[in-house]
Chains A and B, each alone.
Chain A
Amino acid sequence: MHSLGMARALMAVLALCCVAAPLHAAEEDAHVVMLYGLDPYLPPFLVMDKAVRESIASGKGAQAIFFSETLDSQRFAMETLEPELVALLAKKYSALHIEVVVAVSRKALDFFVRHGDRIWPGARVVYVGFLGYEFKPTELPPGASAVLSILDVAGTIDIARRLQPDARRIVVVSGVSEIDRQAERQAREALAKLDAQVPVEYLSGLPLPELEARVAAEPSDSFVIYLTQFRDRDGRPYEPHDVLRVIVKASRAPVYGAVETLIGLGAVAGSVASYASRGRLIAEQVRRALADEPLDPSRTVLAAPNRCVADARALQRWSLDAGRLPDDCDIRFANVPIWRQYWWAVALALLIFAAEATLIVALLSQRRRRRLAEQAEQAQRAELTRAARLAMAGELTGAIAHEINQPLGAILSNADAGDLMLDSGADRRDELRAILADIRRDDLRASEVIQHLRDLLGKQKFERKELDLNDVVSNLEPIMRAEARRRGVVLEIRRAPETLAIMGDRVQIQQVLINLVLNAMDAVADESEARRTVIVSAAKGESGAVLAVRDHGRGIAPEHRTKLFESFFSTKPSGMGLGLSITRTIVEAHGGRILVASSSEEGTTFQAEFPTAIANGAPFPYPA
């Protein structure tokens, strides 16, 4: 496989050399080398590599042609091969300008630092690796960029202890290659800090048959922490995932792992960082390197943080209680019928549905009896709209508190600082003036948030004005972002470059947007990190302006689709079932329409289309 890959890469190089020169077409594309310190076919790297290439391909910027190289340093003695390898690579890339080298693992980075100038002169490096475990961020070479994450052995042990608080023994399995040993050192440090007196045994570098026998002899009230095993004490090389498969099969005690791709092969759970999101972050850094932008620290270190991930099948096999896992644990591979898994939610929903049905009947008969005048009915509808808005605000309290407490906190600390300065007696008029200016600015910031909320929640006259749909989105951006951050959802906001003029009531259109966004966030709440994305866009449509909200959830059940916009229909235990029905009322009252597309693979998209504003606009039928 190795030589085949190399041959293919060589052919690609040759093809490129012959084609690129005369045509000048390929000059647009950047050349990127993925340099792996380990075997690039290891499962986590396959996931990561795919995400890197897909993100670059789907991105707006320049496209890239990828080349792959490997050092496989955990299984081969690099020192003896290095001179020939460097000579070969220098020859191979001599006719090709490489813009970026992605160095995966410390060995790859060191190799790049030693030989990059000769093999890929002028290339920038993006380093991918573990923090602390093999690298301190301050060791990053100048001009380099990085995506660093944590091998969280301590967190994984913590999860194991949550699931098995009464475990009588802990067994730690690792190999004896450099990486294996570093992981084992981390496990030793983490276990030394445990206050509980549980005996720990380290099985380091055992040949596979012996390891299998030792693990099989372990009683079921132990737990096994599997780190990595690239090599055993006799120097025999392994693929670490294969070792896990063997252990899992033999063991009566639950096995845990700290690498994402081990969960799913039989390991119960672990504190792991997603390789897909790491891939996307690498693509982002590659794009920045291609554009010659400097490193962005907030997207670099720990940007794919560790999360608890568990395998439902393994939990079941070892009869472990998923309820003991942390609340935000991502339980994968669940294959339980919805009814059994959520029986209480379904029962509750039915109960509420019955209560609501009664309510509907009551309301209808009441309405019939009273024969409400048209105006009164409209007033009631406006009240209902406002009630739904208040309910929405309730859901947003966390985000609102954050948005207001932030400037309030700054004001208080600034005032305190000013006080202390005055106490010191020195003349610091300029500093005090700067403090007052900041206080004023933060005060306005807080009152702006409150003003937006009052606009949204207050009981005010319906106002029909010409608005830009882009502005509606911008006004709500801080609150939507704060809410997204609170829920751990990635929120993407796309505005149209041109003005999207529509006629309407700003508050009601904001209500449509918030309602759709909250629904979308609910839809992705239980999804894995990769799918927890919501995209809000304002764009020009065929016959007007379109506000679209798209989620990557599991879609709407077919039997629910027809009832979606009915009043008092809700699938949420605490939902009133008014949100979407009011949303549609508002959109239609503005002369627009609402469309929904949903599938279990792609998620759901709601589109609200509003007619373009014309001077002395069309009749407006909804005086709320």
Chain B
Amino acid sequence: MSTGPLIHIVDDDASMRAALLRLLVAAGFEARGYSSTGEFLLQPLPDRPGCLLLDLRMPGPSGLDLQTALQQQNITLPVVFLTGHATVDSSVRAMKAGAVDFLTKPVKRDILLDAVQRALARDAVQRTARDEANRLQARFASLTQRQREVFDLVVAGKLNKQIADELDIAERTVKREREQVMAKLDASSAADLGRLAELLHRSSAR
């Protein structure tokens, strides 16, 4: 299976959908078309970089509804809206909800491909951040209970002696556990650990 970017196109107009698919494929992308928001949501989303080209107004749920639904499921696929008739209200709503761009049909090739590139760039940034967070979580999960306690206290700015007192263990043990923590988390200083703690906190809040 390919792992390059995949562009998803949701548009109820069969002719428009076919034209967009052709254009993106000719421009070197892989693309998939869906005739309604429901059809898109009912298919498993492959774990690949990509973005979503979304018609604003369709029979049944609209593009804005799909955008909400994706956020609801924590799917961060960046969205580019395409519409036959833009209103200020809908474009403001779409951009506020984090759309990459809001384009009006007929759309020029350069403008469309530029928006797709920006969406893919945003997706890449998001994916890297998520991968890093996941790796960090995995490394953190490999710590023992004792090591986690030591980690928390180091991050809180405690010295080895204070930690030893608090956990009621020998200072030598603290030192050894602390080295283990640094090695497992690939950190080189206490400040480094602090940064990692911050990252961990943010990724678990998501």
Binding site for B on A (CB under 8 A): 131-133, 136-138, 140, 148, 150, 152, 154-155, 186, 189, 192, 295-303, 305-306, 327, 398-399, 401-403, 405-414, 416-421, 424, 431, 435, 438, 441-442, 445, 485-486
Contacts and interface: CB of A to CB of B under 8 A. Distances in A.
A534 to B, nearest CB: 15
A485 B106 contact: no
Interface stretch (B13-21, B129-137, B159-167, B180-188): B13-21
A13 B146 CA distance: 63
Given A297-B38, A401-B85, A412 B71 contact: no
B61 A414 contact: no
A303 B85 contact: no
Interface stretch (B39-47, B118-126, B150-158): B39-47
Interface in B53-84: 57-62, 65-66, 68-69, 71-74, 82, 84
B26 A424 contact: yes
B37 A301 contact: yes
Given A132-B69, A414-B23, A417-B23, 4 more contacts: A132-B73, A150-B72, A297-B38, A410-B19
7 contacts: A148-B41, A297-B41, A302-B38, A302-B66, A408-B105, A435-B22, A486-B57
Contact of B22 (A408, A414, A424): A414
B198 to A, nearest CB: 15
Contacts of A412: 19, 106-109
Contact of B15 (A133, A154, A438): A438
B19 A306 contact: no
B106 A411 contact: yes
A297 B25 CA distance: 25
B105 A409 contact: yes
B26 A137 contact: no
A438 B36 contact: no
Contact of A402 (B57, B66, B71, B73): B57
Contacts of B1: none
A420 B35 CA distance: 25
A117 B206 CA distance: 40
A79 B191 CA distance: 50
Interface of B: 12-13, 15-16, 18-20, 22-23, 25-27, 35-39, 41-44, 57-62, 65-66, 68-69, 71-74, 82, 84-85, 87, 89, 104-109, 112, 205-206
Contact of B85 (A298, A402, A410): A402
Contacts of B36: 297-298
B73 A131 contact: yes
Contacts of A486: 57, 85
Nearest to B34: A297
Contacts, number: 156
Contacts of A401: 84-85
B72 A131 contact: yes
Contacts of B57: 402, 485-486
A295 B42 CA distance: 10
B72 A133 contact: yes
A140 B42 CA distance: 8
Given A154-B72, A155-B68, A420-B27, A485 B59 contact: yes
Give the interface centre of B20, B22, B62, B206 by most chain A CB atoms within 10 Å. B22
Which 4 pairs across A and B sit closest by C-beta, in order of nearness?
A: A409-B105, A297-B38, A298-B36, A420-B26
Given A189-B206, A301-B37, A138 B42 contact: yes
A138 B107 CA distance: 33
A189 B36 CA distance: 27
A286 B61 CA distance: 20
B26 A298 contact: no
Nearest to B43: A138
A85 B60 CA distance: 38
Secondary structure dominating the interface of A: helix
A411 B60 CA distance: 25
Contact of A438 (B18, B105, B205): B18
Contacts of B65: 302, 305-306
B91 to A, nearest CB: 14
A405 B59 contact: no
Contacts of B205: 192
Contacts of A406: 13, 15-16, 84, 105
Contacts of B71: 154
Given A132-B73, A154-B72, A192-B206, A413 B42 contact: no
Contact of B69 (A131, A411, A421): A131
Contact of B19 (A186, A414, A421): A414
Give the interface centre of A136, A410, A424 by most chain B CB atoms within 10 Å. A410
A298 B72 contact: no
A438 B60 contact: no
Contacts of B41: 131, 137, 148, 297, 301-302
A414 B39 CA distance: 24
Contacts of A306: 65, 68
A401 B86 CA distance: 10
Given A401-B85, A405-B84, A302 B23 contact: no
Contact of B89 (A140, A327, A403): A327
B149 to A, nearest CB: 25
A409 B82 CA distance: 10
A303 B61 contact: yes
B156 to A, nearest CB: 22
Nearest to A281: B60
Give the interface centre of A300, A403, A408, A417 by most chain B CB atoms within 10 Å. A417
A128 to B, nearest CB: 14
B84 A298 contact: no
A299 B73 CA distance: 20
Contacts of B107: 409, 412-413
B87 to A, nearest CB: 8
Contact of A417 (B19, B58, B74, B87): B19
A413 B22 contact: yes
Contacts of B68: 150, 152, 155, 306
Nearest to B105: A409
B126 to A, nearest CB: 14
Given A152-B72, A306-B65, A407 B39 contact: no
Give the interface centre of A401, A409, A416 by most chain B CB atoms within 10 Å. A409
A302 B70 CA distance: 11
Contacts of B18: 410, 438
Nearest to B17: A410
Contacts of B85: 398-399, 401-402, 405, 486
Given A297-B38, A406-B84, A302 B105 contact: no
Contact of B16 (A136, A192, A413): A413
Contacts of A419: 109
A189 B71 CA distance: 10
A421 B26 contact: yes
Give the interface centre of B61, B68, B107, B206 by most chain A CB atoms within 10 Å. B61
A420 B19 CA distance: 13
Contacts of A155: 68
B13 A301 contact: no
A406 B38 CA distance: 21
A411 B36 CA distance: 21
Given A154-B72, A409-B19, A413-B22, A300 B42 contact: yes
A302 B69 contact: yes
A303 B42 contact: no
B38 A301 contact: yes
